[in-house]
Amino acid sequence: MASSSSFPARIRRAFREELDPSQRSALLSWLAFTGTFGAVRGITYSIKNGKGPFRNLSVGGEHLHHYMWGIGLVSGVGGVAVRGEDRHRRHPTVALAYGAGLALIVDEFALLLDLKDVYWAKEGRISVDLGVGGSSLAGTYFAALPLIRALRQSREHAEDDEQAKEDEQL
């Protein structure tokens, strides 16, 4: 009993119709955070193990940590929030930049606290990866709950409509 519209189309409809602007921004931020954190973990493990096309970025012999790019993104979002017009503040790019920037910062938080460079200490790294990864997935899930509920209701209504059509044909 398939619905007449595709799953991606139902997601887009529910995103636009069931979520208010704040909920859409929260969901986009969590999705960006989760995706960026996962991508950064994969890239940094690739760099550490010398696999793939990625390499550290350095200027003048100094390594540029990715938290710097995160600070830049979050600062840009702050500038839009403080000075931008409402249509700019509510733009999806702002929510995505905030989530991505925050993930870049959080991934190297120990360096920002001026703790020793424990980034690759196995004991600390595993717990941080699991903690932040789990938190980002949980945040994304809770931010997406209204969308998930709307999709579930849409599917149930589509199934009810299909059943009604079958009953009419009998």
- Domain residue ranges in the chain: 20-162
**pLDDT by residue (tens digit) across 71-82?**
999 999 999 999
The model's confidence at residue 133, banded by pLDDT at 50, 70 and 90, is confident
The model's confidence at residue 1, banded by pLDDT at 50, 70 and 90, is very low
Average of per-residue pLDDT across 54-58: 88
Bin 81: left if φ > 0, else alpha if -120 < ψ < 50, else beta. Answer: alpha
Per-residue pLDDT, 103: 92
Closest CA to 108 of 39, 40, 50, 59: 40
Residue with tokens 């929510």: 95
> Encoding tokens for residue 133?
């990864």
Q: What are the Cα distances from residue 45, in Å, to 51, 115, 122, 131?
A: 8, 21, 12, 17
Is pTM beyond 0.75? Reply is: no
Per-residue pLDDT, 136: 83
Per the CB < 8 A criterion, the answer to whether 5 and 155 are in contact is: no
